[in-house]
A and B are shown apart, each in its own frame.
Chain A
Amino acid sequence: MRDSRNPFRLRRAESIDNDTTFLSLFEPGILEIVPTESPLESVHILRSAAGGGKTSLIRLFTPSVLLTLSSQQTNTSIRELHQRMKDIGAIGDSGPRVIGVMLTCGRGYSMLQDLEVEQSRKDRLFFGLLNARIILAVLRGAIALKQLSYPDGLDSIEIELTNKPPSLQKLGATCTGTELHRWAEQREATLCESLDSLGPLQAESLPGDDALHSLDVVRPDRIKVDGKPVAERMLLMMDDIHNLTNHQRSLLFQTVIEARSPIGIWIAERFEAMTAQEMFSSGAAQGRDYGEILEIESFWRSKHAKFEKLAMKGADRRVQAATGTELDSFVSCLQDSLTGAEWEKRFEEIAIELANRVQSQHGKKERFSEWIRIREQSEGSPRERALEWRSLEILIHRELRKRQASFFDDDPLDEEDLGNREDSSLNNAAELFLAKEFGLPYYFGPERVSRLASLNIQQFLGLGGEIFEEAAAAELLRRPIALPPERQHALMKRMAKQLWDEIPRKVRHGRELRQFIESVGNFAHEYTYRPTAPNDPGVTGTAIKMSERLTLFDEATSKKRLELVRLADTLASALAHNLLVAQLDYSCKKEKWMVLNLNRLLCVHFDLPLGYGLYKERPLGVLAKWINTPFADSNRQEGLL
């Protein structure tokens, strides 16, 4: 491997071609997503958007990585990872305890579904192909774990065939790896050569199976080398299941769950596998059908602070892996506050401007005179004072709005009233308003930058890479390494713009989707920046009622209303690409909601705050319209408020 100037660019698990590097870049905290209950024994479904970190996780359990991990337990950069893998039961003191087998499902299976034969025959072919491949993958895993050579080492493997399935009748009660491999290889070749033939397909004579017999064959206790089982456990990790057809996916899920096999099975897929309907139904509802489902984004969504911390730690690992730099932590690349003489001066000017504005607009109103006096006497720093004035302005607007609605209560407000009305959310809104109004940097500092990952490692590495490149450049020039806030802000804006610009090209239904997101963003922006800062510090998404969600999919699946079909497709595409994040069954105002949050980086595009959880709901019909007719000012459009 060539050394890397900027290891953040190694975004994929695959492009790190060396197991040691892979391990040293893997942040152990990420293992928290591994199910705590029998992670290596039962069936688990792993689901995420692209770049969610599935593939890295799977790679961690493959034989060569486990062997490297076992052999380098003294290496400080992987010590924690070693311990965690031990806790999970993947490795022990004497080496790997599990044989992790990765099986990637290509598109090849889906075409079986289009053959002009009856369904039961299609299913037989599907199982036939899958059985062969599972056996091949397991044998290869055994070879790797035992560090035998391929293919000669297959001879050293012995397989006990109890309950021999029909297609293996010709083999003895025990057979060698070579014999079993030959059978599976031939079966696979026969099927693949026919399916991918240059001439028309002849499907009549192709071999198949009635069930997933291979799960019986590859049990850990029945595969031996030198008379001993190759490993205590077997973990079959089936990746890219989204490439299967809906029918095949259901069949696979059902079969592996019913098989109650002693081997662990992980089924990993991207969101796009799911029908729009599945995508918008809660994991709990699906769990009833399929067993444990782990959605990586949803998992971290509930503990996003933790994820963000891990992301920063992961970033440190990348910084440490870079060549030609002395930097050793990512935080040192990020200046965290607007301090220094110049900012002080700037805030002083802003505080004065705001004070003048509040006084000239509201100074004569007796009701606020005490509040204004309190602000005038404030002894905070220039920045604090600027924020105080801005938050006061918001509070005054709120009072004025209340007064429009009700006539009583015109008494002067005192210090206690002010104290009761102030809180951190209001402060955050004031900070956001200040930034927008006076062109101050807002998207900077470790907390916000890691928030912009939007719970997606790949997205985070993209942002981190830009920051690191510039910090390394500063180091080269012997300048201060930490990027000043305005540079961080500018970089985040640029990355947000890039994400935005690429939507039509990179995403299915991209043009419509971007139109839709633009409406969501503009709507959120308009709502957030109202003078009263309702729902402070601001909203970052929209929501529909769960009941409307049902209408959406009923109407869409029955193709009754075209605009709803398009909305469903568009939303599905947004979720698959992590541009919107859905949260289901969210309780609020005595209703259940499906909340659609913008990817945090898109919040930057619309100057929105980065908090999770705040949204402003819209009726389904309005969302459907947004695809064609972009949202304009809500006062005009809907006569709201």
Chain B
Amino acid sequence: MKDALAEKLLATVLGWGPEEVAAERPLLQAMAAFKYDEYEQYSPGMRFVESLAVWMNQFDAEDRPTAYRFVRERLVFCSAREMDHLVATAYPDFIRPILLNRVAAESTMNRFHVGHVTSSEPFQLRQRETLFLGLSDGARIDAFRRANRELNHEQIWQTHELASKRVSELLEKLEKHVNAKAFRTIVLLDDFSASGSSYFSEKNDGSFSGKVAKFLASVGNANDPLHSLVNSEGAELIILIYMATDKAIQYLRSSLEKQTFPGINSIRVETVQLLPNSISIVRNKASEYGPLIEKYYDHEVHDVHMQRGGTPDAKYGYADCGLPVVLHHNSPNNSLALLWSYEDRDVRGLFPRVQRHREMS
């Protein structure tokens, strides 16, 4: 749809006169060009302003200004460029300093003397003895590789679910390069987490589920190929999520800290862009946005996956995370249903989510 047509559509829906159009049009054009048009799940040809008009049109006239204000003031949209930047900064500013401290602690070097430490042989070795694995497609391993030319291709792999052949190849290359037999640090990378439960959660029977739990179990299991990634001295595990809520980070830290895992000496959980709790729209405390969220909702979206979040409905997203967050490639289901609700439902989200029964994050 042409820009002008979409803008007219929106103005009509919102009942705008020339005054409001003159004030809002430059702003919408700017934000659409800057970010929102790049949402990858819009149906072909659809762009932000048009989607906004369709979205607004679902609401009663008196609710539209509130909905518009929400978009202008609360929406957090992470563009591909922002995400790429978070990826690029992950190693040099988060992982590398950890390795540096570790190496200094294990030697007599002063940890503040970063030049000495990083140019030292133990550090070079330690850097190579670090394995980077993606926890999902979102880990953007390609971007991570491009941003970190000093790391070897053979220490970065897109998935943590490694076949036995892959494990041996990684280890062979490691031995060939630095004559080491196992990795000493394993870094698990992912793009986004709101609750942390898809990585690690405790089932009723006391056992653990989730990607990280599974990975830890494999490392600890002598019959699993992953077991050979570490040796008897064990390794440290770092979980690094490019963007995560405070809630997810706190949850993961506290639940992983309580446990010990064979083969793993320590676990750290870090994030590049922390999403503070304050951005969430909380059930029963949603103030001006509460009525909107309650009123415009199609319970059909509360499918079996959403139900696992333990909430009566999906209004505030999976596990009531209440996030106003949209990622350029898809809206997380932890965000308000109003943002992501599927295109074919009675209430259509502003950034409709594509349902691919991906596990909840």
Q: Are the CB atoms of A479 and B26 closer together than 8 Å?
A: no
Q: Are the CB atoms of B26 and A469 closer together than 8 Å?
A: yes
Mark contacts of A455-493 with chain B using CB atoms, 8 A cut-off: 1 yes-contact digit, 0 otherwise: 000000000001001111110110100010001000000
Mark contacts of B1-42 with chain A using CB atoms, 8 A cut-off: 1 yes-contact digit, 0 otherwise: 001100110011000111111100110010000000000000
CB closest residue in chain B, given A470: B22
A5 to B3, CA, bound (A): 11
Q: Which residues of A contact B18 (CB under 8 A)?
A: 470-471, 473-474, 477, 479, 483, 487
CB closest residue in chain A, given B2: A324
Q: Assuming A5-B29, A324-B3, is B22 touching A477 (CB within 8 A)?
A: no
Q: Which of A466, A471, A477 contacts B8 (CB 8 A)?
A: A477
Q: Which residues of B contact A471 (CB under 8 A)?
A: 18
Q: Are the CB atoms of B4 and A476 closer together than 8 Å?
A: yes
A472 to B3, CA, bound (A): 14
Q: Which residues of B contact A474 (CB under 8 A)?
A: 18, 21
Q: Which of B7, B19, B29 contacts A476 (CB 8 A)?
A: B7
Q: Which residues of B contact A454 (CB under 8 A)?
A: none
Interface check A214, CB cutoff 8 A? no
Q: Are the CB atoms of A5 and B26 closer together than 8 Å?
A: yes
CB closest residue in chain A, given B25: A473
Q: Are the CB atoms of B26 and A6 closer together than 8 Å?
A: yes
Q: Which of A6, A324, A472, A479 contacts B17 (CB 8 A)?
A: A479
Q: Are the CB atoms of A473 and B21 closer together than 8 Å?
A: yes
Q: Are the CB atoms of A469 and B3 closer together than 8 Å?
A: no
Q: Are the CB atoms of A477 and B17 closer together than 8 Å?
A: yes
CB closest residue in chain B, given A325: B4
A470 to B29, CA, bound (A): 15
A578 to chain B, nearest CB (A): 26
A324 to B21, CA, bound (A): 15
Q: Are the CB atoms of B21 and A477 closer together than 8 Å?
A: yes
Q: Are the CB atoms of A324 and B22 closer together than 8 Å?
A: no
Q: Are the CB atoms of B21 and A487 closer together than 8 Å?
A: no
A471 to B21, CA, bound (A): 10
Q: Are the CB atoms of B7 and A470 closer together than 8 Å?
A: no
CB closest residue in chain B, given A2: B33
A489 to chain B, nearest CB (A): 13
Q: Which residues of A contact B25 (CB under 8 A)?
A: 5, 469, 473, 476
Q: Are the CB atoms of A473 and B22 closer together than 8 Å?
A: yes
Main secondary structure of the interface of A (DSSP, over half): helix
A494 to chain B, nearest CB (A): 11
A444 to chain B, nearest CB (A): 15
A324 to B25, CA, bound (A): 13
A354 to chain B, nearest CB (A): 31
A178 to B12, CA, bound (A): 64
Mark contacts of A3-20 with chain B using CB atoms, 8 A cut-off: 1 yes-contact digit, 0 otherwise: 001100000000000000
Q: Which of B4, B8, B12, B22 contacts A469 (CB 8 A)?
A: B22
Q: Which residues of B contact A473 (CB under 8 A)?
A: 11, 18-22, 25
Q: Are the CB atoms of A476 and B8 closer together than 8 Å?
A: yes
CB closest residue in chain A, given B12: A477
B98 to chain A, nearest CB (A): 35
CB closest residue in chain B, given A478: B8
Q: Which residues of A contact B29 (CB under 8 A)?
A: 5
Q: Which residues of B contact A487 (CB under 8 A)?
A: 18-19
CB closest residue in chain B, given A487: B19
CB closest residue in chain B, given A476: B8
Q: Which residues of A contact B7 (CB under 8 A)?
A: 476
B329 to chain A, nearest CB (A): 27
CB closest residue in chain B, given A473: B21
B93 to chain A, nearest CB (A): 28
A479 to B8, CA, bound (A): 12
A483 to B22, CA, bound (A): 12
B59 to chain A, nearest CB (A): 20
B101 to chain A, nearest CB (A): 33
Q: Which of B3, B11, B12, B19 contacts A470 (CB 8 A)?
A: B19
Q: Are the CB atoms of A472 and B22 closer together than 8 Å?
A: yes
State which residues 282-338 of A face B: CB under 8 Å: 324
B50 to chain A, nearest CB (A): 15
Q: Assuming A324-B3, A324-B4, is B26 touching A476 (CB within 8 A)?
A: no
Q: Which residues of A contact B8 (CB under 8 A)?
A: 476-477
B300 to chain A, nearest CB (A): 36
A477 to B10, CA, bound (A): 10
Q: Assuming A324-B3, A471-B18, is B11 touching A477 (CB within 8 A)?
A: yes
CB closest residue in chain B, given A466: B22
CB closest residue in chain A, given B7: A476
A471 to B19, CA, bound (A): 9
A229 to B3, CA, bound (A): 53
CB closest residue in chain A, given B33: A2
A477 to B18, CA, bound (A): 7
Q: Which residues of B contact A472 (CB under 8 A)?
A: 22
Q: Are the CB atoms of A476 and B11 closer together than 8 Å?
A: yes
A474 to B26, CA, bound (A): 14
Mark contacts of B235-273 with chain A using CB atoms, 8 A cut-off: 1 yes-contact digit, 0 otherwise: 000000000000000000000000000000000000000
Q: Which residues of A contact B11 (CB under 8 A)?
A: 473, 476-477
A470 to B4, CA, bound (A): 14
Sample 7 A-B pairs with CB under 8 A, ordered by A number.
A6-B26, A466-B22, A470-B21, A474-B21, A477-B16, A487-B18, A487-B19
6 closest A-B pairs by CB: A473-B21, A470-B22, A474-B18, A473-B18, A469-B22, A473-B22
Chain A residues in the interface with B (C-beta under 8 A): 5-6, 324, 466, 469-474, 476-477, 479, 483, 487
